Amino acid sequence: MAHFQDSRCLYLYEAVVRGTIRAAAERLGIAPSAVSRQISLLEDELGTTLIERHRNGVVPTEAGRLMIDYIRQHAAHRYDTLAKIDALRGLQRGSVSIVCGEGFAEDMITGPVREFHREYPGISVALEIMGTTEIMRRVTEDEAEIGLVYYAPADPHIVSRRSARQPMFAIVGPDNPLRLASQTSLSELQGWPIALLKGVYGIRQIIEHAEREDRIRLRPTLTTNLISVLANFVANNQGVTLLPPFAVAGALREGLLHAVPIENSALQNAEVQLITRAGRQLSPAANRFLQYCMRGMAAFQGLD
């Protein structure tokens, strides 16, 4: 059985993640030749090629991908072990990393983050906002412990810890006549200027599913990567948008926006999911934070 030095794995990891030997060297603050040398020594120890060098950079071989998986799992295990040691001190210090879409941010801050910090002031929470594709990648590659997604694609490396049905509604402004309707449809919404999120978000992906179901093509007047932009577009009576109500809950409460149900099964059965990587043992702090999310977020209340 082959033996290798763990210290050399860092050079392989940085080269693959950064895409080039030179970028890895800059990240590590050493000469490119030193990075190449360490990777070559690791290949000699394992008796196999780990990367293929191309004009535009490096690409891992099948063996290289196995090593990258090993490195990520090793790092996650080390982090979780240190977190468990911290837990022996009564969750007095440590950190939790979460990734979620912008639509969850208000719900997350006013719910679990606030309550968790009241109980565990020594635990820091790292919350990053991004699209569904990046959320899934961060969780599967152990760059984040917990993910919160709307309409998550199926992935064997992901396990759903909690899900809840959260239908998508037509969101209209205070002067829009649709605000008085008990229900609307995609065909009716075609008659209005419409603003939508870009395609990397689960919200846009489920809208495309709904379009196929109704054999309708919505042609947005505005596309953006920010829900706040959609909300401002609608609040200023420039048109309509499609969102789950929890994503604009504050504006709905204040009467700045109105939510109208849409007659479409894909939109009515959309779900939010709280996800982690399959097989990963979360730190005690992350496990505790999961519980706060499950019971303290509006996104998981009432419709599951």
For 32, 130, 238, the CA distances from 101, given in Å and listed in that order, are 37, 5, 24
Q: Is the pLDDT of residue 205 over 90?
A: no
Q: Rounded CA gap, 245 and 203, in Å? A: 12
Does 87 or 107 have the greater pLDDT score?
A: 107
Answer yes or no: do 181 and 32 share one domain.
Answer: no
DSSP calls for 61-102: -HHHHHHHHHHHHHHHHHHHHHHHHHHTTTS-SEEEEEEE-G
Distance of CA 259 to the CA centre of its chain: 25
DSSP element (H, E) containing 275? strand 271-277
Assess if residue 55 is contained within a domain.
yes
Structural domain range at position 128: 91-157+272-300
Look up the CATH number of the domain holding residue 247.
3.40.190.10
Rounded to the nearest integer, the mean pLDDT of the chain is 88
Answer yes or no: do 46 and 188 share one domain.
Answer: no
Q: How many domains does the chain contain in total?
A: 3
Q: Residue 153 carries which DSSP code?
A: P
Look up the CATH number of the domain holding residue 10.
1.10.10.10
Answer yes or no: do 130 and 145 share one domain.
Answer: yes
Assess if residue 136 is contained within a domain.
yes
Answer yes or no: do 152 and 277 share one domain.
Answer: yes
pLDDT digits (tens, 9 = 90+) for 246-267: 899 889 999 999 999 999 999 9
Q: Rounded CA gap, 230 and 235, in Å? A: 9
pLDDT digits (tens, 9 = 90+) for 25-70: 888 888 888 888 889 988 888 889 989 988 888 899 999 888 888 8
Assess if residue 141 is contained within a domain.
yes
Assigned token pair, 214:
């109704």
Answer yes or no: do 138 and 229 share one domain.
Answer: no
pLDDT of residue 304: 40
Answer yes or no: do 182 and 264 share one domain.
Answer: yes
Assess if residue 1 is contained within a domain.
no
pLDDT of residue 232: 95
Answer yes or no: do 276 and 152 share one domain.
Answer: yes
pLDDT digits (tens, 9 = 90+) for 122-131: 888 999 999 8
